[in-house]
Structures are given as C-alpha cells and as structure tokens.
Chains A and B, each alone.
Chain A
Amino acid sequence: MLFNLDKKITEAIDDAASKSLWLYHINAGSCNGCDIEIVAALTPRYDAERLGCKLTGSPRQADIVLVSGPVTLQSRDRLIRTLAQVPEPYCLVTVGSCPCSGNVFKGSYAICGPVDKYRHVDVSVAGCTPKPEAIMAGIAQAAAILKEKRRGMHE
C-alpha cells in the first residue's frame, strides 16, 4: 500500500494499546482495603491518568482487570463470568495478597481462591494492602504485556 500505511496504522494501534488503559475493578470478596488503594491511585497525588488509565463500568471496555479479594464461594462464578466477557487483548492484574494466595483466609471452606486456579494472572501486586505506587507499577508492567499481546494478535 501507499507508504506502508497499513503497517504504520497497525503499529499506531499496537502503540495505543499500551497508552490507553481502561481499568475494570472486580471485588471478589475483598475487605475494601485494596479497593480504596486502587481509587487512591487515581487521585491527584498519584494520578494514574498520566498512564492513560480511566475507570470503566463495563467489562466489555476493560483493558486491565483488577481483581481484589480472596475469591469467595459467592463471588467465584461471577468472577469467571465477568472475566469471560472481557474482549481480547486484556491483562488480569491481582491487587493485594488475597487474590494471589488467600492470605489469612486460606483454607477456609468459603474461599475458592487463588485466582490463578481459574485464569492466567498476568501481573500480581503483593502487599496487604499495596501502596498506590505499587499498584501503578503493576499497571505499567501490565501495559507492556498488553502491547505484546496486541502484537501477538496479528502476527
């Protein structure tokens, strides 16, 4: 094509995949500690919008899915159903210790975690609760993965 225009557009789209990150937050039985820190990452002091982050309300528009909480019995099916509705390419980021391991709740009859039993987790952010800086570092790491995933879609 003219001046390799199609290639340039594809490259621009790949590039945009790591610059526009819409976050969708799933609370899988979290104590609200991590949820507050996620919101804190969007406040003026930390300003995750510099990375292109924006909270969306619909999983259909999500690029990065943030999961917090130890995946309780009640939230397990909802978590799986919601993750199935996210269009590719997307990144699954777990926030806090609970979704990675179950934390102090592990071994309980009401806990079905960790999350990686059900879906591949791209980036984990540890901490109880993680500081907003750590969440932003995790999001930045996920952005790089997202770009690779987008490249993998057309190669």
Chain B
Amino acid sequence: MTFIQTILNILLLPGLAFTLIASIWLAGVDRVLVARMQRRVGPSLLQPLYDVLKCLGKETIIPRKANEKVFLLAPVVGLASVLVTAMFLPVGGVSALKVNSDMVVILYLLTLASVTLIVGASASGSPFAGVGLSREMVAMISYELPLVLVMLTVGRVCGKGLATFSLSTVTAYQAANGPLLLNPVLWPAAIAMLFVIPCEVGQHPFDIDEAETEICEGVLAEYSGRPLAQFKMMHNVKMYVMSGLFCAMFLNISTGFILADILIYCVACTLVTFVSMSVPHAVTARFRVEQVFKFYWTVVTGCAALSLILVWIGL
C-alpha cells in the first residue's frame, strides 16, 4: 500500500502532474499580471503551454559546430533535475520524496539545472551562447551565496540548537509555531530569498544570460524545436520550484485539512510569484552584469547575513 501511495505521490499530487500544472499556472499568471501592470490585456493564461507545445512542433536544428549528444542531452537533464527538485517540496505537508537533508539536495539540483544551461550553451558552439554562459556563471555565483545563507538561517531556527537541512523538519516546526514569516528576525532573510528567486529562475530584470536584445537569447541562441521546449519547460518548473521553496521555508500554514493546505499553498505560491517575479519584471529594466553581481553580493547577501547573525546569536 505504501508503495502504491509513493508511486501516486510521485506521479500525481505533489509530484509530476501537480508540478506541471502548477508551473504552467504560475508562468501564465506571471505573464498576465505583468501585462495588467503595464495596462495591457496580456496573453491567455495557457500561453506558456502554447509556447512549449509550439516548440515541440518545430524543426530541431543542430548546428554544424555543435556537439550533438551534449547539445540534445543537456535540456533533458536540466528538465529532469528541476522535476526531481519539485518532488522534495512538501505540498500540504506531503512530499513525494524524502531524504534526511533535502535542502542540500534541492540546492545541488537547482545548481545542476543552471549547469545544464551552461553545458548546453557551450556545446552549441555559438559565440552568443559563449557570452551568455559566462553571464549565467556570474548570475550563479551571485545568488548561490545568499541562498545558502538563507537556508542556514532557516535551518538554525527550526533545528533546535543545530542547523537542520530537512524540509520536513522545517514544515513541522512551522505547523507547530506558525509560519516563519511572522518572525521579524527572519524578515531580512525572506527579503533576500525574494530577490534570489528571480535570479535563479532567470526572470526579466535578472535575465542577463538570456538578454534577447543584446546577445540574441544568449545561452539559448542555437536552440530550437524540442530541446528549446525542454528548456522553456525547465524555466517554468523552476518558477514553481523556487516559489514553492519559499512557501515551504517561510509560509507554511497548516490547518489540518490536507485540501485546504494545498489550496493555501497554491495561493501562497502565486503570491510569491507576483511579489518576487511579476513586480520587478513590470517596473525595472534589465540589470547589467556587474550590477547584478554587485547588488547580490552587497544588498542581498547583507540581508541574508544579518538574519543569520541575529539567529546564531540567539535572538
């Protein structure tokens, strides 16, 4: 029975089906909200799905200079890694996969997703992709440090004296003591996390690696057809994973009823997407490379470090 339940968990509710639906929903809501903030009507809610389906129906061109195997396999690995990341997120207190320190696993799998972008870009043999991948690396070292600091902070708060890296412990702590966002000591960490989300996903003001007007889509310059669809889907799923991670770490509200919990989780995810991705997209222009680096290593890391220090001295 538990075996069947695990399979169902992986395939349906906190797993594959839920992840795909939620990621399409979040990406669609993001685009509609950005349009509404710019006083436009905007595309339909299913637009990200149409984009992915359309890419599936197009010809796949493999450049002559590309390393074919790596070029085609990188997006598959990337999509798989973000889908596996989504398995660790607790939805209504249930997660499809559980390990002892799943926050570390999530951290590495998210890095893997970014690394596949870099590997795929370097395998495509295009100079634009080369510029894009160097920018993606800069973005990675910008957001990794604050992300780790935020995780350490949350782990320390929930870990009772020790830092825990288990999301289930974090959610259990929040179920008992209320969401961590109510703790003022953790507000700087939450703000840092809100800034980490768009950079990790590659959303507009921080999409320096995919700057379509400067470097011809950057890392995705040579991708078309099916691999492009996989990368676009990876982008959508990453959106869900990051907002879900924020909800799991800061906004886990449990009422005791699993359906209500799932509903609250979905609403919270949408809210996080709106605050962290749609609003910066609508109001700011794209950052320059060194601006992103400077911003993350001063303001965002500073916020995360402030929370960390406050927590570790025992406030």
Contact indicator A17/B54 (Cβ below 8 Å): yes
Complex interface bits, B31-47 against A, C-beta within 8 A gives 1, otherwise 0: 10001001111111001
**Interface flag for B2 (CB, 8 Å):** no
Interface residues of A in 37-78 (CB under 8 A from B): 44, 47, 49-50, 52, 55-58, 60-61, 63
**Interface flag for B225 (CB, 8 Å):** yes
> Chain B residues near A57 (CB, 8 Å)?
211-217, 221
Give CA–CA (A112, B263) in the complex, Å.
Answer: 61
**Interface flag for A104 (CB, 8 Å):** no
Interface size class of B (residues with CB under 8 A): 35 or more
Query: Nearest Cβ in chain B — how far from A15, in angstroms?
Result: 8
Q: Which one of B35, B40, B59, B217 lies within 8 Å of A58 (CB-CB)? A: B217
Query: Nearest Cβ in chain B — how far from A139, in angstroms?
Result: 14
Contact indicator B217/A56 (Cβ below 8 Å): yes
**Interface flag for B53 (CB, 8 Å):** yes
Closest to A47 in B: B40
**Interface flag for B51 (CB, 8 Å):** yes
Interface residues of A in 17-52 (CB under 8 A from B): 17, 19-20, 22, 44, 47, 49-50, 52
Contact indicator B212/A13 (Cβ below 8 Å): no
A60 and B222 in contact (CB under 8 A), knowing A50-B41, A87-B58? yes
Give CA–CA (A16, B46) in the complex, Å.
Answer: 10
> Chain B residues near A14 (CB, 8 Å)?
57
A88 and B57 in contact (CB under 8 A), knowing A57-B215, A57-B216? no
Contact indicator A20/B50 (Cβ below 8 Å): yes
> Chain B residues near A17 (CB, 8 Å)?
54, 57
Contact indicator B217/A61 (Cβ below 8 Å): yes
**Interface flag for B169 (CB, 8 Å):** no
> Chain B residues near A61 (CB, 8 Å)?
55, 217, 220, 223-224, 228
Closest to A89 in B: B58
Using CB atoms and an 8 Å cutoff, list the residues of chain B in contact with chain A: 31, 35, 38-44, 47, 49-51, 53-61, 128, 211-217, 220-225, 228
